[in-house]
Structure 1
Amino acid sequence: MVWKISKLFKEFFESERTGGLLLVICTVVSLFIANSRFGEMYVNFFHLKLGGLTIEHWVNDGLMTIFFLLIGLELEREIYKGELSNIKDALLPFFGALGGLLVPAGIYMIFNYGSETQSGFGIPMATDIAFALGILSLLGNKVPTSLKVFLTALAVIDDLAAILLIAIFYTRGIILMNLLIAVFIFVLLLVINKLGVKNLFLYIISGVVMWYFMLNSGVHATISGVLLAFAIPFDFHEDEKSPSHVLQHFLHKPVAFVILPIFALVNTAIFINSGVLGQSLIQNYSLGIALGLILGKPLGIFVATFLSVKLRICELPEDLNWKVIFGVGILGGIGFTMSIFITLLAFDDPVIVSGAKLTILISSTIAGVLGFMFLNLFLRGEN
């Protein structure tokens, strides 16, 4: 069995690869400015209010909704027609993702169960698609197609889990009326979809209204992006002309080259004090995040896929072996975007938030370097 690769997947892979490299640059720039003499001015800028929300909130609750809309559109396509449409093909990355979720969360809870930081269990469960594919792309043509598909499918399933985590565990103070209005708009869009209405503008305008009520409901506003994605028509027969395909194609580059870089600039503006840094990295929440990402991710992904194949639940593609599966598992420890996003929802204490962000950056860097070195060694040995 060798997985095939679709045209839209290639486009997605290319945009995520370049976008991942841009994220690295924006992170370095943000850290540099935050720790320069302009640092205080730079950080305060993101706390300025516009229309009742700070710039930081507009980015994390507004722009990131568009990011989640793209994730939803990708999930919709993968489930209906892509790499996850065949249950047998989807089982391997599904089990890999499941192991990569449970083991890191378990490691985190070993250090933090019963403490004020136990709510951060979702942080090491996340994988950043852009960064992971960006590192994988550095290995060039020797990367098997099936490995690209496996990592992408695993990260997409990972994102779905993150969305569910946010909806279930990181929702506070429900305002029922606003939530019901948001749900009503979603149901109405589903009905319009079933009636065959394909006017993309109508769906987007309705999605903005749904976002407003979701923002003021207590459920995180980004969930509205995912709901909107599944309400937008997907046409099997005229795939490239369907509203879902058109919007997904349009959003790839703005998300990769504008929205995620802005997210990085806003959320990695961290003051680094050597004394505070050393202290924050030995806290229980930091140890849980670091070990969850660096150790838990590869172990969880490898063990779960290995057992699922040995139990004959699914098959390992012909052009893959267990060494490269473990290498991809290491890349799965690159949390970054999603991990930082969950950090902002899990913690209120600014000191803990900054410490967690630093731990995520360091851990993700280590996972990226180790994953690249491991795969470079064993992929080179096969070619």
Structure 2
Amino acid sequence: MSHRVLLLSGYDAASHQRWRKGLADHLPEFEFTQLALPPRHFSWRIRGNSMSFAGLHRETLEADYQALLATSMVDLAALRGMVPALARLPTALYFHENQFAYPKSATAHASVEPQIVTLYSALCADRLVFNTGFNRDSFFAGAEQLLRKLPDLVPPGIVSQLQARASVIPVLLDDACFPPSGTSRAPNRRPQLIWNHRWEYDKNPALLLRALELLCIEYNGALPFTLHVVGQSFRQVPAEFSAIKQRLSDAGGLGQWGYLPSSEYRPLLQTSDIVLSSADHDFQGLSVLEAVAAGATPVVPGRQAYPEWFGASACYPVTGALEADAQAFAAAIAARLAPANPTPGPDLSALQWSRGGQAYQQLLQQLSALHRL
């Protein structure tokens, strides 16, 4: 018998889309009804998504389901009040990120509201699922800190109650991300490096730029590699990107530039030797994981989720000081370029849907069982 699952994505960014579509593609025993809101106007979306869902999709929300799976961007507490039928559904809240550890934009209006919305949603859910241990631990640390700041009448034990409901299941990768066994790079060719992230402030393009400047000095102005700088960009692109492009062009290291469709991006990953990250924010680091799955060696900072995936010793040290971090980043790149140090990427085969999908299957089966009790 097919289990009917309502899946809600409150701010449907690219990684959220990939996650929910992966569930529908790889778990055929579940019948998913998906509702997603566009990833724009963040402040309004996180506060207003309950009204948007309830006012625009009430008939769909009130249909018959065995379980509800929602992203942590969904204002679950308000939505259950507006659509009481949802309050009877066993519910899992999936965290792609959390608002306690998300880097603050210099232009964003400071508000505790996103944190409160997410905390209330967590209190309404039967299960909390995080994509990494880092995401889980930083959420609970942030919630504990916030609760201590509230003036009075805070019930005891809130965080411990939520921790008892928590588990970690990463966003999984399509099996096509992994090359066939025995695939190897052509020897004695120019090293191919890739930086494949959103072109936004939280990916720290200033750190990449400064590291490239130091490498140009190290290699006397002519870089011995090609760097592909690809990824999604938006209306406001950080100024560092134009300087990065000019620096690479002047040093003979400019490769692919800008957004690439999947038909071009996948082959590029499969020919990349080293994948770079300068990010201040990566709760899972999907773009790096995809490149490593395709055979690239990671050069990533020792923060966020990266030590969890690759081990602290495999990450370059970061302090938050631009010059020191750029020197460590540049040194790590140079070390990976050395002929005597062709460090292979770690084995990420456990992230394949064919191997990791069972965890999602068990989660949804457990929720459906609660519905029958």
TM, length-normalised to structure 2: 0.27
The structure carrying a bigger strand percent of its residues is 2
When Rg is computed on C-alpha atoms for both structures, the one with the higher figure is 2
